[in-house]
Amino acid sequence: MADLRVRIAGVEFPNPVIAASGTYGNGECYTDLYPISKLGGISCKGMTIEPKLGNPPPRIAETYSGILNSVGLQNIGVHGFIDFYLPTLKEEGNVIIANVAGATIDDYIAAAKALDASSVDMIELNISCPNVKAGGATWGVTPEGAAAVTKAVRRATSKPLIVKLTPNVTDITVIAKAVESEGADAISLINTLLGMRIDIRTRRPILRNNMGGLSGQAIFPVAVRMVRQCYKAVNIPIIGMGGISTWEDAVEMMLAGACAVQIGTAIFSDPYSPLKVIDGIGEYMDKNGIKELSEIVGQCEEW
């Protein structure tokens, strides 16, 4: 029987499949379908130190093999999350990853300090959200910005720190190296690609924010490429995401270098997709005589 457990920065996940931030809420919409403890973990909805209403609608647009979103980090704030959602999530027995964003470095520091005293297992530093006017991806598009916010948050918390990277850069390996050098325990990638749709009848962008983040199957090859590049550039664990919808996608991402994966957009069309991916990975490992996930991580034999 395959061992699906994976350890990242000292935290043990029962399996490598994590619900991606923003697409699973804080688990509350799925508890009637199955025990969310079956997941490897949950990266909770992106949160800021103060509550945010997000962007005005429309803020979701369908596109080929994916969706565009410009939700804009709507959330009840870090303290609201700690008081309202976290107790229930811990009762479920999940590995809880708090996804944190901010407009300023002080915002990130305040959120990290509040979460440091909580029972979350890890912090995922979101320096890659393209849908907010201030902060968000602006921190993640230069090595200097990424390094500065990572360094500040590393000093503010003892929690294991994952840094979530944006694909909207020239060379993602430079950003990965920068956050590794300032104390990131792991990186997660990729966040959404920046995209746009226009309504030909109104001649206006479909999204009120004009542009939004493209996610879904359309971005999977880009995600695989960037995970592979980062795997060869850094020495910290990588959590891969971006268009994963099947167990075959997950295995491919792990062959590229990810030790765990996050599933996001696929959950909208099939909320059971993470469970199917978990089962599929296990069956693949059993069929091929693979006992531990470490035997396939990064094992792509390039030409």
Active site residues: 129
Q: How many residues does the chain have?
A: 303
Task: Tell me the backbone φ, ψ of residue 86, rounded to 5 degrees.
Answer: -60, -45
Which DSSP state fits 82? Answer: I
DSSP state of 280: H
Strands, E, within the chain: which ranges?
6-8, 11-13, 17-19, 41-43, 60-63, 66-69, 96-100, 122-126, 161-164, 186-189, 193-195, 198-199, 204-205, 212-215, 238-240, 260-263
Residue of 127, 18, 132 whose CA lies nearest to 69: 132
Computed from CA positions of residues 237, 243, 247, 253, in that sequence, does the dihedral angle turn out positive or negative?
negative
CB atoms within 10 A of CB 83: 12
